[in-house]
Amino acid sequence: DADVTQTPRNRITKTGKRIMLECSQTKGHDRMYWYRQDPGLGLRLIYYSFDVKDINKGEISDGYSVSRQAQAKFSLSLESAIPNQTALYFCATSWTAVDTQYFGPGTRLTVL
Amino acid sequence: TQLLEQSPQFLSIQEGENLTVYCNSSSVFSSLQWYRQEPGEGPVLLVTVVTGGEVKKLKRLTFQFGDARKDSSLHITAAQPGDTGLYLCAGVTGANSKLTFGKGITLSVRP
């Protein structure tokens, strides 16, 4: 079984809809991250969490919110989706900020 | 301003050729990681370099960290189609010790 799982893997939605992407991990890591990946722009950090009570904004947090329900679960929400949020979204985990990041398989989100 | 510049952005070569790609910055990194991402999957760590001048080998892949810890290179010997993918470098710098990714190098190795 995969250490980092993401659901759904693919999602098509309409402008204005609320969307939640979920991430679960079995690695026991405290640190979890949400990135979006766009062609030509690389991986950009949306939010990160050091533990259940510590949530931090990344470089592109506007339009997104997160919830760390447990050590193993970190959800990303788009309150009112817009077309320029169409992207590939990755969740990742790590022991510390400088250690290996373990990525999930990604969620491809399309906002029409 | 992009903290980490990767070059070239795209590379298409024939099986058996050698290649070198680069990850450059004006900042000093405490460590630098290289990841490979295959289509439909998340990035997977290949190597971490920590010491200036360090060279690490992973089968046909050779990674070097610059003496000043501002840049890194990846050399692939006798490339194979299985090497096809997106190669990302990521560096740790600053008091926050966050990992920052470059935009990546898309490598295509033709049979």
pLDDT tens-digit profile of B22-41? 999 998 988 999 999 998 89
**Distance, CA of B24 to CA of A82 (rounded, Å):** 34
For residue A110, give how far its alpha carbon lies from the nearest alpha carbon of chain B (Å).
15
For residue B43, give how far its alpha carbon lies from the nearest alpha carbon of chain A (Å).
6
Answer with the residue of higher pLDDT: A110 or B98: A110
Which pLDDT score is estimated for B84? 96
Contacts across the A-B interface (CB distance below 8 Å): 49
pLDDT surpassing 80 at residue B103: yes
Nearest-CB residue to B45 (from A41, A97, A100):
A100
CA-closest candidate to residue A20, choices A94, A86, A74, A61: A74
Confidence of residue B20 (pLDDT cuts 50, 70, 90): very high
Task: Identify the three-state secondary structure at position B79.
Answer: coil
Q: What's the whole-number mean pLDDT along residues A25-38? A: 95
Nearest-CB residue to B42 (from A44, A100, A106):
A106
Which pLDDT score is estimated for B95? 56
| A contacts of B98 (beta carbons < 8 Å) | 45, 48, 97
Nearest-CB residue to A98 (from B31, B43, B104):
B31
pLDDT tens-digit profile of A90-106? 999 999 877 899 999 99
Q: What's the whole-number mean pLDDT along residues A30-35? A: 95
Which pLDDT score is estimated for B96? 60
pLDDT surpassing 70 at residue B1: no
